[in-house]
Amino acid sequence: MKNDTIQHLTKSMSNGRQLLYSWFTSMHTRVDILLYRQDEKNIQLEIANLIHDELKRLEQLANFYDDSELSRINNEAAKYPVKVSPELFEILSFCLSAHKRTFGCFDIAIHSDNYDKDTIHAISLSAEDRTIFFSREGVRINLSGCLKGYALERIRNILNNNGQENALINLGNSSVLALGNHPYGEGWKVGFGNGMTSGSGEDEVWLFNECLTTSGNDSEERMHIIDPCNGKLVDGHRQVAVVTNSGMEGEILSTALFVVLIEQREELLKCFSPRWVQYLSVNKNISRGRYTYV
């Protein structure tokens, strides 16, 4: 059994404010929370607990691997139309539209049996009765490419609803939300890359009420993103990092940029308008087939 107990440390600042650092495991990753405000630590702990409970709720909604609403859809939607909760229906609709916006580079059907680039068209959503149906056997929806980004937006709502103006939320070092300011300055400086380089030497970025999301391989051995064009895992020790206002848009964009054709990059960036993009690799320049990071 995984240990998802909330652990925390607190520090009283010289200005009378309180800094809370909390961490736990959820959504198959480590979650780190920094909260900074003029309140007692009990209020900050309450907020950390709300975040913990929300992430657990999202696991029950859209986890691909365990029992969830999404896993039940994957098991039943090829047999008959399945009723979908309003929240999951909205997420699925957004993802299907993202498939078009990314020229097919973001594909929630990519883990289906006998996948090809047309598999996603077997997914039918009915807005009238809020159901989903798969027109062929073996279709599987996997929301792992955007769920942490969606979680950041849900966490943002919790922070805003509880008057938490200064916060840094880190989901697995690949999805980060920064609100307000660090205790010792404006914004939040966040590192990324794990030893990789952009060629410009930059491996950190300042965030101002924004999200940083990264997609890619953190080693030569750990490949987990599939190219929808050929159905194969993308190799190479490299990543893409983007800064966007929306965590969910950032997750989708970074995934798409990791596999998109070089000649389509600029058009893709125009569709999403990120504030900042960085391509990283273990070497200053890397070229592997159709993917080139410089």
Contact 170, 176 (CB under 8 A): yes
CA distance 107 to 102: 9
Q: Kindly give, in sequence order, each residue whose CB lies less than 8 Å from that of residue 215, ignoring residues fewer than 6 positions away.
A: 145, 174, 225, 239, 240, 251, 254, 255, 257, 258
Most distant CA atoms of the chain, gap in Å: 63
pLDDT per position as a tens digit, 88-110: 999 999 999 999 999 999 999 99
**Domains (ranges, CATH) in the chain?**
7-56+158-293 (3.10.520.10), 69-134 (no CATH)
Per-residue pLDDT band for 3 (boundaries 50, 70, 90) equals low
CA distance 29 to 150: 15
pLDDT per position as a tens digit, 207-243: 999 999 998 756 555 656 777 777 777 766 578 899 9
Tokens of 87: 């929240």
